[in-house]
């Protein structure tokens, strides 16, 4: 169902100037992204625009009648161009882009620029408020009214011809899911770019509510099927928006999302990890062993394996979030938990990345893109590393089973629960402190409309997922591989002047390399400081190794103690840690040491992948370095306090 309504000019068929740009603008959930994918066939890439920090998509499309190619830009979904003061908000980004392009297009012989606003026919009055703002800012404006099929099922129709006459702008009424919407939007774009700019006085002075009432009219009868659909929606909302049951259901949905990221993606990640190890075992003998083979296997292939192991989580999370958002349920859940989260300086949508971070911080950092307020998004990014991710569990398991086994399963379970609770509590405290110190400013008010329940489009989900995977591989993946190679150098290359330890004469080559490595020398040099937390040079080297991935703490300690392949069976390493003695015969590690190390892991951003993901989302090293600084400071102070207090209590 589509139709165009506006007088045609005599310039039909004239070629559009090179460099022409059409910006798609609209409110969230208006169908803008679906229409953009329809018009551009999903051939989207992230645009690089001066002064624009929010991710903006762009793609080229051919106009009809041999008018040439035009670049379509998908601006962030916005409610208003006049309400935001922060240039980094979605509204600020859209306003900066439109004003910049309008100014550039006003220069003689400059490529033309047009804005096509996407309006939701089922909420036309709300969308027309944005139309009124656009009419005073742009010289070429066209309207695409979507959801025509939904309006039809509701027993209503939108008179596009009347809307065009009332506003004095070209109007197209379409359904974004209908293939015919593509030629209709392209024809509208060609007309806007060819015709001279015209005054928009009628659109500037209109009353959105009055116009909407005139152009959206009821049909003679509403089908019984539609009445039943409306009744089902009301019944669902009575449960989904219930003040008690609603939050419980939303928390369950978010927990299911977290479980999917953790459980569904984990087997695939394990297969990828096994494949990279198999590849390394095949390449190793051909490279002749030694440093070259180790660098290729552990540094490069290991780094690439770390990158690939995150892909299943990225895919599952992207699909889950798109399903929740496109179905209309996410908006309802956000409404329910927003009041609670605002006490911590966050909004309701922050629950999604915070829960996801308990599986892995990398996909959780990407999930912060659903947050409109840049201040809230930054605050969420800064506290996400404090959540207890699954990569911490091998270290927690090793320490609890080694030093708390004699206290029984109940105490061990309580320690595990306490570690998770400590992560959540520290995140809440850090959020409250940071919003009053580092990330100051007033949060954006909650502006929300309840979209209709809809079935998400499979093609849209597929394209959004592919775009997320490409972005992760291109930015985060490269950084992880480089950092992995650098860590290999620290853990394997001998420190100049390092002496050979006679006690390691019969030790495996990997054990010798680690003991003589740059990391071991650094670990020994800082031991006088870390000793206050109960950490000797061996634990320090384990912490260096675990920066590549937290779970490597166990493997690195295993190598130091002559156990090269510490997998699921940690029994030999547990025995080594319990048996380790200092020169005077005292236990090298105690319960106090274990508690201090766990306290350190609760706070420290001990993960290069997290740092790389933070850099990608903020496009600056300032905030990743800030996270490293404040989390490591907290971690060390907490470790020192816990070690000394625990030592005093245990006597």
* pLDDT tens digits, 105-138: 777 777 889 999 999 888 888 889 999 988 888 8
Given a cut of 50, is residue 620 above it in pLDDT? yes
> Is 243 a domain residue?
no
Domain boundary among 202, 222, 242: 222
Tokens representing 610?
Answer: 């997290």
Alpha helices in 404-447 (DSSP H): 409-434
Q: What is the mean pLDDT of residues 533-545?
A: 87
Domain for residue 218, yes or no? yes
Q: Quick one: pLDDT at residue 55?
A: 62
Say yes or no to pLDDT of 151 above 80: no
Query: Domain holding 68: CATH number?
Result: 3.40.50.300
Q: pLDDT digit string (tens) for 380-432?
A: 999 999 988 777 877 888 888 888 877 877 888 888 888 888 888 998 899 88
pLDDT value at 598 more than 90:
yes
Asked whether residue 348 is domain-assigned, the answer is no
The residue from 222, 240, 257 where one domain ends is 222
Residue 42 has what pLDDT? 64
Distance CA 57, CA 165 (A): 32
CA distances from 84 to 79, 80, 88, 415, 495 (A): 10, 8, 9, 46, 55
For the segment 613-617, the average pLDDT, to the nearest whole number, is 87
Q: Which of 17-31, 404-418, 490-504, 572-586 has the lowest mean pLDDT?
A: 490-504
The most confident of 61-70, 264-273, 379-388, 537-546, by mean pLDDT? 379-388
pLDDT band at 50 (very low <50, low <70, confident <90, very high): very low
Q: Is residue 384 a part of any domain in this protein?
A: no
Task: State yes or no: pLDDT of 54 exceeds 80.
Answer: no
Whether residue 571 is contained in a domain is answered as: yes
298: exposed, middle or buried (Cβ count in 10 Å: 0-12, 13-18, 19+): buried
pLDDT computed for residue 45 by the predictor? 47
Residue, of 579 and 232, whose pLDDT is higher:
579
Q: Are 573 and 417 within 8 A, CB to CB?
A: no
Contact 146, 177 (CB under 8 A): no
Query: Residue 532's pLDDT is what?
Result: 93
pLDDT, one tens digit per residue, over 412-423 is: 888 888 888 888
Domain final position from 207, 222, 237? 222
**Mean pLDDT score of the chain:** 78
Within a domain: 604: yes
Residues 6 or more apart whose CB falls under 8 angstroms from that of 605 comprise: 385, 611, 627, 628, 631, 632
Confidence of residue 144 (pLDDT cuts 50, 70, 90): very high
Lowest mean pLDDT among 208-212, 398-402, 466-470, 516-520: 466-470
pTM: 0.64
Residues contacting 122, CB < 8 A, separation 6+: 147, 150, 151, 154, 452
Please, what is the Cα angle at 369 between 47 and 119, to 5 degrees? Answer: 70
Average pLDDT of the residues in 74-97: 74
- Please tell me the least confidently modeled range out of 238-252, 284-298, 517-531, 630-644: 284-298
pLDDT band at 479 (very low <50, low <70, confident <90, very high): low
Say if 158 falls within a structural domain.
Answer: yes
* Number of structural domains in the chain: 2
Q: Does 12 have pLDDT greater than 70?
A: no
Q: Which residue has the higher pLDDT, 307 or 380?
A: 380
Query: What local confidence, expressed as pLDDT, does residue 270 receive?
Result: 74
Cα separation, 481 vs 485, whole angstroms? 6
**Of the listed ranges 50-54, 129-133, 151-155, 310-314, the one predicted with least confidence:** 50-54
Distance CA 603, CA 606 (A): 9
| Residue 311 in domain | no
Residue 292 has pLDDT above 50, yes or no: yes
pLDDT of residue 449: 62
Q: In which domain, by residue range, is 175 found?
A: 3-222
Asked if residues 493 and 518 have their Cβ atoms less than 8 Å apart, the reply is yes
Q: How far is CA 162 from CA 156, 215, 216, 386, 397, in A?
A: 15, 6, 10, 56, 69
| Mean per-residue pLDDT, 596-605 | 93
Helix axes 591-603, 622-650, angle to 10 degrees: 160
Task: Report pLDDT for 326.
Answer: 72
Q: What token pair was written down for 31? A: 């169908």
Q: Where are the alpha helices (DSSP H) in 154-264?
A: 160-167, 181-194, 201-205, 208-215, 224-240, 245-259
Asked if pLDDT for residue 9 goes beyond 60, the answer is no
Q: Tell me what pLDDT residue 635 has.
A: 94
Rank 3-17, 106-120, 266-280 by mean pLDDT and report only the highest.
106-120
Q: State the pLDDT at residue 541.
A: 84
Helix spans in 343-408 (H): 351-356, 361-367, 374-383, 393-403
Model confidence at 361, pLDDT cuts 50, 70, 90, reads: confident
């Amino acid at each position: 169902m589509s139709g165009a309504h506006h007088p045609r000019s005599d310039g039909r068929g004239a070629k559009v100037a090179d460099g022409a740009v059409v910006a798609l603008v609209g409110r969230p959930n208006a169908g803008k992204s679906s229409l953009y994918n329809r018009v551009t066939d999903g051939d989207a890439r992230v645009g690089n625009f001066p002064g624009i920090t929010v991710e903006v998509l762009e793609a080229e499309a051919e106009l009809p009648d041999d008018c040439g190619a035009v670049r379509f830009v998908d601006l962030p979904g916005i409610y208003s161009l006049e309400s935001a003061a922060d240039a980094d908000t979605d509204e600020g980004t859209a306003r900066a882009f439109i004003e910049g392009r309008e100014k550039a297009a006003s220069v003689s012989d400059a490529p033309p620029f047009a804005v096509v606003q996407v309006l939701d026919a089922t909420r036309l009055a709300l969308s027309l408020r944005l139309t009124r703002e656009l009419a005073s800012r742009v010289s070429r404006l066209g309207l695409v009214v979507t959801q025509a099929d939904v309006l039809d099922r509701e027993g209503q129709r939108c008179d596009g011809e009347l809307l065009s006459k009332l506003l004095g702008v070209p109007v197209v009424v379409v359904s974004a899911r209908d293939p015919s919407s593509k030629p209709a939007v392209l024809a509208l774009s060609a007309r806007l770019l060819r015709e001279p700019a015209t005054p928009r006085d009628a659109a500037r002075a209109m009353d959105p509510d009055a116009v909407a009432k005139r152009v959206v009219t009821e049909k003679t009868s509403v089908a019984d099927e539609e009445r039943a659909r409306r009744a089902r929606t009301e019944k669902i909302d009575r449960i989904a928006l219930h003040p008690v049951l609603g939050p419980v259901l939303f928390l369950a949905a978010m927990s299911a999302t977290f479980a999917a990221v953790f459980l569904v993606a984990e087997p695939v990640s394990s297969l990828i990890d096994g494949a990279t190890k198999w590849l390394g075992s095949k390449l190793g003998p051909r490279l002749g062993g030694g440093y070259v083979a180790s660098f290729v296997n552990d540094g490069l292939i290991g780094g690439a394996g770390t990158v690939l192991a995150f892909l299943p989580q990225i895919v599952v999370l992207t699909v889950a979030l798109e399903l929740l958002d496109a179905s209309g349920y996410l908006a309802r859940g956000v409404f329910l938990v927003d009041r609670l989260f605002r006490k911590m300086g966050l909004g309701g949508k922050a629950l999604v990345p915070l829960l996801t971070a308990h599986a892995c911080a990398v996909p959780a950092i990407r999930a912060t893109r659903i947050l409109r307020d840049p201040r809230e998004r930054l605050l969420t990014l800064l506290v996400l590393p404090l959540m207890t991710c699954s990569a911490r569990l091998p270290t927690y398991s090793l320490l609890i089973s080694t030093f708390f086994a004699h206290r029984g399963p109940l105490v061990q379970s309580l320690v595990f629960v306490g570690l998770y609770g400590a992560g959540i509590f520290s995140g809440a405290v850090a959020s409250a402190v940071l919003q009053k110190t580092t990330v100051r400013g007033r949060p954006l008010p909650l502006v929300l409309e309840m979209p209709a329940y809809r079935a998400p489009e499979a093609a849209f989900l597929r394209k959004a997922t592919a775009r997320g995977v490409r972005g992760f591989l291109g930015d985060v993946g490269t950084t992880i591989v480089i950092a992995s190679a650098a860590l290999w150098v620290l853990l394997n290359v001998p420190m100049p002047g390092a002496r050979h330890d006679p006690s390691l004469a019969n030790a495996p080559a990997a054990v010798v390399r680690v003991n003589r490595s740059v990391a071991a020398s650094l670990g020994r040099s800082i031991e006088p400081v870390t000793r206050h937390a109960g950490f000797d040079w061996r634990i320090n080297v384990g912490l260096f190794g675990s920066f590549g991935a937290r779970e490597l703490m166990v493997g690195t300690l295993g190598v130091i103690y002559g156990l090269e392949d510490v997998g699921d069976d940690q029994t030999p390493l547990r025995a080594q840690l319990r048996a380790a003695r200092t020169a005077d015969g005292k236990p090298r590690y105690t319960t106090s040491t274990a508690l201090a190390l766990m306290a350190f892991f609760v706070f420290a951003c001990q993960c290069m992948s997290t740092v790389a993901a933070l850099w990608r989302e903020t496009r600056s090293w300032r905030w990743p370095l800030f996270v490293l600084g404040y989390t490591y400071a907290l971690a060390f102070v907490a470790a020192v306090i816990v070690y000394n207090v625990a030592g005093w209590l245990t006597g």
